[in-house]
Amino acid sequence: MSALNLNSLQGLIFSDGWRIPSGGEREVHNPADGSLVGTIGLGDPADIDRGCAVAAGAQPQWGLSPATHRRQVLLAAAGALAEARAEVVSTLIAETGSTRGKAEQEVTKSLDELSSAASLTEHPTGELLPHDTPGTLSMARRIPVGVVGVISPWNAPLLLALRSVAPALALGNAVVLKPDPKAALSGGAVIARIFERAGLPAGVLHVVPGGPETGEALVTDPRVPVISFTGSSAAGRRVGAAAGALIKRAVLELGGNNPVLVLDDADLDAAVNNAAWGSFLHQGQICMATGRHLVHESLAVAYVEKITAKAESLRVGDPADPAVNIGPLITEDQAARVEKIVNEAVSAGARLVSGGVRTGTFFTPTVLADVAPTSPAFTEEIFGPVIAVTPFTDDDHAVALANASEYGLSAAVHTRDFARGLAVAARIRAGMVHVNGQTINDAAHIPMGGLGGSGNGGRHGGHWNLDEFTHWQWVTASPTAPTYPI
């Protein structure tokens, strides 16, 4: 028997126990070969309504439970995930087309999210404040928001769901999670199972996969004051608008079109190594993936030559094979979209140096040179294994190109001059910048989030989670009631 026994959950959702949903079921197929991975239950608005009602009833007792108990549950969930590591890695590979290395990394980072969330229970939760009346206690304290709605994507389904679910639970909230149906096993059933085995009280966590109508029901439910959404910028705008109309807090972590800036004094081999990793990890299907390669004109020819050699050395194929570097895209539609952007870029004047070939869900690692700032390969989030190289003349030009985007998630700068790198980084409009690094960087303790089209300034990670998943409450207590003149 497998550690989590996911096969026993065919067609079910987790909402006050495992049960048959109202929305039917859906088959999940391996994007590499089309084989059947499993069957998931699909929730509909009625399932969301029921889940939110149960969560709202269960949350007060969970929120008042001792911090030590909540910490123990989070750590027990981490233990359950660690025990099931091999099964979860295999599920990620089969369900999302992750290479083995990417799947292993996702589980490792998910374990970090659980342990970091557990530590939130040890953070101070309030401040003593001065008061004009002697003997009166005045304090500001953090209290759980209540029920947190989490809508998570398919590309790193376990990690990006737990990044919200774990801290929200640790801080005393109930959670209703709607994972993307394309990854509802690794991004939903696994999470339900590990918390079930960790002893989380019934009704505190609900996992209801579903489509747009299910997500809309969660966003608009009056018992859910906070929505944490990770996904595309277009969908995030709709979520933000709906939440704003209802005066709800929306934590939006959205798309990116992230630049790497290779200055004229950069270590070219190091820059190519970092930039290729940033573009090709998980076939480029990561919000922090390197989309735009901005290279000083004096290095552009050599850079294209070296990064093309890197791209052509990568092996494309079944991601279950440890020797494979590039697996499939999540669907044929996504692969066709990447193909369309590449073809449009070439029509607009870019030079196809290597790749550009689609076979079903697979797309060869691709290098485009001489990409103009008006090209779709420059302006759009490609979400595929495509490198788009644009030359620049000086630091000012590089910064202008980096900021010529609606997105503002992540960036990288390569230079041998440490101070110069920091100075350029300070001018880039992004939530995260890495000098002599690459754009895909994440950790459980850092303020993860973007600006502009990449997010509304909310931050996941470390003590920043307190700002997203608690409310401030001012409390005063006097030994006797005051006397007023009327």
Rg for the chain (alpha carbons), in Å?
Answer: 24
State the Cα angle at 12 between 8 and 17, rounded to 5°. Answer: 95
Encoded amino acid at 306, one letter: K
Taken in order 278, 279, 283, 287, the sign of the CA dihedral is: positive
Question: At the top level of CATH, which class does the domain 6-254+455-474 belong to?
Answer: alpha beta
Q: What is the pLDDT of residue 192?
A: 98
Pairing of strands 366-369, 386-392: parallel
Instruction: Give me the phi and psi of 20, to 5 degrees please.
Output: -80, 130
Per-residue pLDDT tens digits for 324-371: 999 999 999 999 999 999 999 999 999 999 999 999 999 999 999 999
> Token digits for 445?
């303790």
Instruction: Give me the phi and psi of 321, to 5 degrees please.
Output: -80, 120
- What is the average pLDDT across 131-148? 96
Q: Which of 95, 106, 113, 287 is catalytic?
A: 287
> Token digits for 35?
């084989």
Per-residue pLDDT tens digits for 418-428: 999 999 999 99
Q: Residue 381 and residue 309: Cα distance in Å, rounded?
A: 24
For the chain, the domains span 6-254+455-474, 258-435
Residue 52 a catalytic site member: no
Length of the chain (residues): 486
Topology match between the domains 6-254+455-474 and 258-435: no
Q: What is the pLDDT of residue 457?
A: 81
Partnered with residue 410 across adjacent β-strands are 432
**pLDDT above 90: residue 303:** yes
Give percent of the chain with pLDDT exceeding 70: 100
Q: Which of 253, 339, 380, 381 is catalytic?
A: 253
Q: Residue 104 and residue 160: Cα distance in Å, rounded?
A: 15
Per-residue pLDDT tens digits for 410-462: 999 999 999 999 999 999 999 999 999 999 999 999 999 999 999 998 889 99
Q: Residue 332 and residue 231: Cα distance in Å, rounded?
A: 19
Residue 30's contacts (CB-CB under 8 Å, 6 or more residues apart) are 36, 37, 94, 95, 97
CB 292, CB 378: distance < 8 Å: yes
**pLDDT above 70: residue 2:** no
> Token digits for 480?
């006797």
The whole-angstrom distance between residue 253's C-alpha and the CA centroid of its chain comes to: 7
Per-residue pLDDT tens digits for 380-394: 999 999 999 999 999
Strand locations in 327-385 (E): 351-354, 358-359, 362-363, 366-369
State the Cα angle at 153 between 152 and 158, rounded to 5°. Answer: 75
CATH architecture of 258-435: 3-Layer(aba) Sandwich (3.40)
Cα 68 to Cα 76, 142, 148, 175, distances in angstroms = 12, 17, 21, 19
* pTM across the whole model: 0.96
**Nearest residue to 398 (alpha-carbon basis) of 265, 290, 271, 295:** 295
Per-residue pLDDT tens digits for 60-110: 999 999 999 999 999 999 999 999 999 999 999 999 999 999 999 999 999
Q: Residue 168 and residue 161: Cα distance in Å, rounded?
A: 11
CB burial readout 227-239, b (16+ within 10 A) else e: bbbbbbbebbebb
CB 84, CB 190: distance < 8 Å: yes
**pLDDT above 90: residue 238:** yes
**pLDDT above 50: residue 229:** yes
CB 198, CB 115: distance < 8 Å: no
The whole-angstrom distance between residue 171's C-alpha and the CA centroid of its chain comes to: 20
Q: Residue 280 and residue 365: Cα distance in Å, rounded?
A: 7
Q: Residue 330 and residue 93: Cα distance in Å, rounded?
A: 11
Eight-class DSSP state of 395:
H
CB 282, CB 99: distance < 8 Å: yes
